[in-house]
Amino acid sequence: MTDDPWQAEEQHPLRFGLVGTGFWARMAHARALASTPGVEFAAVWGRRPEAAAAIADQHGVTAHRDFDAFLADVDAVAFSVPPHVQSELGIRASTAGRHLLLEKPLAIGAAEADALVQAVEQAGVASVVFFTARFQEDVRAWLANVAGTHWTGGQAVWLGSAVTQASPFNTPWRQDKGGLWDLGPHVLSVLSAGLGRVVSLVADRGPGDVAHLVLHHEGGPTSTVTVTLRAPESVDRLELYLWGERGKSSMPALAEDPVAALRTALAELVACAIAGRTEHPCDVRFGREVTNLLVAAQQQIDDRRN
């Protein structure tokens, strides 16, 4: 027996399927699925069959054109598709009894997030949402170090440039939803872990897709967030820190390669699935909590625009 609750017992690997064929699916998910102990990368499905076939050829897995046949071939599913697609297909996968590795944001609307959570809970499957920083070893060490300290507040500024013409992340859903929905989930997940659950927020807009948030955390701390996907590449950066009587403590930088963090997320999902656990700090319920914060912020921003 292992003493680590997120370390799976030795047994046959779980067969994983990949949903998605875009840049993130190829660069992060496929590589992690092919190299994580306890995981057998078995199948791929995508809305572009020729792209799914290319991933399948590269990794020696089966490309499926039919989604139900894909689900029948696997034990668990890793999603790398836009959030409105993920929420719909995630319900089908969980209803079929498949464990879920999900991307952020969980969904675009509160009703869609609720429906996915309900499907997961009714099926009794394990779920993990890949908030990248929460699975990065040095960020976890930092969060453990700042835990138990009464911080007065925090700040996160993420000036992204993902919708520049040359960026592989310049996708339609990011162009439409902006930094709030793409970068916001990451900083909300970290600030929640460092300062406590977010109980309320105030949101405002800046030029373009710039979003500003003031967060009120359980127990009294407050924090501020500024995010955009339309900053010049020369200022592309993330800075997140907590401050208080101990001074200022900054989160380590995000790793350039996300595969190590994604392997950790996959391994912890496998451990949950094998042990029959359906709860994880970054499970579908936490994903819904973050989605609901984004929905509330977006509503305030839209109200100010109107």
Residue 99 has what pLDDT?
98
Buried b (16+ CB within 10 A) or exposed e, 55-76: bbeebebbbbeebeebbeebbb
Q: Domains of the chain: which residue ranges?
A: 14-133+258-282, 149-252
Domain 14-133+258-282 CATH superfamily? NAD(P)-binding Rossmann-like Domain (3.40.50.720)
Nearest to 90 by CA among 71, 63, 109, 111: 71
Same CATH fold, 149-252 and 14-133+258-282? no
Bridge partners (DSSP) of residue 19 are: 45, 79
**Can you give the pLDDT at residue 117?**
98
List, run by run, the mean pLDDT of 10-residue segments along the chain (306 residues): 57 92 98 98 97 98 98 98 98 98 98 98 98 98 96 98 92 96 98 98 96 98 98 96 96 97 98 97 98 98 88
Residue 1: what pLDDT? 42
* pLDDT of res. 12: 79
Structure tokens at 269: 């999902």
pLDDT, position 10: 57
Those residues with Cβ within 8 angstroms of residue 214's Cβ, 6 or more apart along the chain or in another chain: 201, 202, 203, 222, 223, 224
**CATH number, domain 149-252:** 3.30.360.10
- The one-letter amino acid code at 92 reads R
Q: How far apart are CA 197 and CA 215, in angstroms?
A: 10
